[in-house]
Amino acid sequence: MRSMLVKMVLGCSLSLVFFFPNIALSSSGETTGTDRVIVEITDKEGNKETKSIPVDEVQPKSTFRISSSMRDQINILQPDYIRTIDMAQTTDKYTKSWSVNRVGTEWMKSKIASNDEEVIVAVIDTGIDYTHSFLRERMIDGYDFVDNDSDPMDEHFHGTHVAGIIVESTTANIKIMPIRALNHSGNGYDSNIAKGIHFAVDNGASIVNMSFQGNEYSEHLAQAIDYALSKNVLVVVSSGNLSDDTANYYPASEEKILVVSATDQTDQIASFSNTGHSIDISAPGVSVVSSVPGEKYAALHGTSMAAPYVSGVAAMLMLEAPTSSIKEIEKTLKTYVDDKGVTNWDPLYGEGILNVSNYKKYSLISSAVSASDYINLPEHSNVPLDKKWTILFNQVFSDDSTIAVKLYTENYEIPIKLTPNLANKKIMVAPIENYQANTDYLLEIQVKNGDKYLMRFTTK
């Protein structure tokens, strides 16, 4: 009778146990930096589901190793790491931030043609106070992946501040999608952030702004970012606030996305800003005034404040060029910068500090290229910054005034140096100063009483 009872109890136990591979635990019994793991559950029909569960549910002290042919199998993918934001002060009164003028968004907004199109920026953060009078006209439906409901109200303040920067920096047809993936303490699991990315992409967002960081690389989060990029959704992230190398943080170390460092009122890199090889561009991140919950405003510091300036400008570029790829938008963004630090790209400022104060809807390049009375020559890309052009002719000219040559970029004519060699039927053309990196140029050639030519080229 006793032997029979043992078999029955053991049989019941086996029917409740799944197969769990080992996972490394710290001395406290938790995975490093988190108390949850991301697992893939496969049922007996072969259907797979990815979930986040507490680590103590997948590795009890004693685990039976049994066949999973008749039961669900759980495969541990990775720890469910936690991303976080930093804290800052608040103030009750709204005043226009210095950073708006530094970035030049008021000028850009004045040059954006009004139309019926909309661009959606998803703010994956602590949620947003969508009732705030500064924001509510710009809000669209979002989601709360912390509480798993459709009410992404901000129980912190960070996400509301980030959203306010985008709202102030953009025209009325840039909409904000609030996605709550970080809790009231400013911390959030990768699993919820990844869900937020998928939700944003699947519900029409063109840009995802993520102003948070974590120490560990996350394959799960990287796959979600790849999903966004595959759908032509731009991902903008802050570099982090620990005066460290972005290589030590994620997603700041991800080179496939736009990573933003922070500058101060003197155009210096903020003392707290992370920098490194992944930095693409910089923007103001010190004493930036924006909205916080409860009809209040705050002057906050952080690379979290720099990233939404880039997201906002990118959204307006998309409004103007809705068929552009995210690579084209990124390239255009990097032309509207003030180059600081060493010439061209550097690991502090990236390509430079974002500045769209010279933005105009119709550039000389655009209008010239569309002219029907010009002959368009083949375009060139990856042109060296010190390139000299040689213009060859099929006849000898006695007077170099017969040939008129001009060089343009965006809305400006660039000073050039011409070196005629008319006896050999050619003219050498070079700018007085080197070209800017990642910039479109137009070379215009007019022959007196003859043809007119245009050649477009882009620098490295």
CB 344, CB 351: distance < 8 Å: yes
Q: Give the pLDDT confidence of 320-371 residue by residue, as tens digits.
A: 888 889 999 998 899 899 999 888 899 999 999 999 987 864 455 555 555 6
Please determine, for residue 24, whether its predicted confidence score (pLDDT) is greater than 70: no
Q: Give me the pLDDT at residue 367, please.
A: 57
CB 150, CB 141: distance < 8 Å: yes
* Average of per-residue pLDDT across 446-458: 85
* Average of per-residue pLDDT across 184-210: 97
Assign 11 to helix, strand or coil: helix
Q: Give me the pLDDT at residue 400, please.
A: 60
* Average of per-residue pLDDT across 148-165: 97
Chain centroid to Cα 198, Å, comes to 15
From the list 141, 148, 133, 170, the residue with the least C-alpha distance to 314 is 170
Q: Give the pLDDT confidence of 128-140 residue by residue, as tens digits.
A: 999 999 999 999 9
pTM of the model: 0.72
Please determine, for residue 10, whether its predicted confidence score (pLDDT) is greater than 70: no
| Sign of the four-CA dihedral 279, 280, 286, 288 | negative
CB 326, CB 234: distance < 8 Å: yes
* Average of per-residue pLDDT across 27-32: 34
Q: Give me the pLDDT at residue 393, please.
A: 77
Active site residues: 125, 158, 304
- Using CB atoms within 10 A of its CB, is residue 43 exposed (0-12), middle (13-18) or buried (19+)? exposed
CB 311, CB 245: distance < 8 Å: no
List of domains in the chain: 2-80 (no CATH), 83-354 (3.40.50.200), 364-459 (2.60.40.3710)
Q: Give me the pLDDT at residue 94, please.
A: 64
Tokens for 145? 């992946």
DSSP structural state of residue 275: B
Chain centroid to Cα 426, Å, comes to 45
Q: Give me the pLDDT at residue 315, please.
A: 97
* Average of per-residue pLDDT across 182-197: 96
Tokens for 36? 């949850």
Tokens for 57? 């549910």
CB 306, CB 260: distance < 8 Å: yes
Cα–Cα distance measured from residue 126 to residue 180, given in angstroms and rounded to the nearest whole number: 5
The HSE-up count of residue 54 (CA atoms within 13 Å, CB side) is 4
The HSE-up count of residue 44 (CA atoms within 13 Å, CB side) is 6
Q: Give me the pLDDT at residue 398, please.
A: 59
From the list 186, 176, 179, the residue with the least C-alpha distance to 145 is 179
Please determine, for residue 297, whether its predicted confidence score (pLDDT) is greater than 80: yes
Q: Give me the pLDDT at residue 409, please.
A: 81
Please determine, for residue 103, whether its predicted confidence score (pLDDT) is greater than 90: yes
From the list 60, 47, 50, the residue with the least C-alpha distance to 16 is 60
Q: Give me the pLDDT at residue 85, please.
A: 86
Cα–Cα distance measured from residue 20 to residue 42, given in angstroms and rounded to the nearest whole number: 12
Least confident of 68-77, 139-148, 205-214: 68-77
**Bridging pattern class, strands 337-338 and 119-125:** unpaired
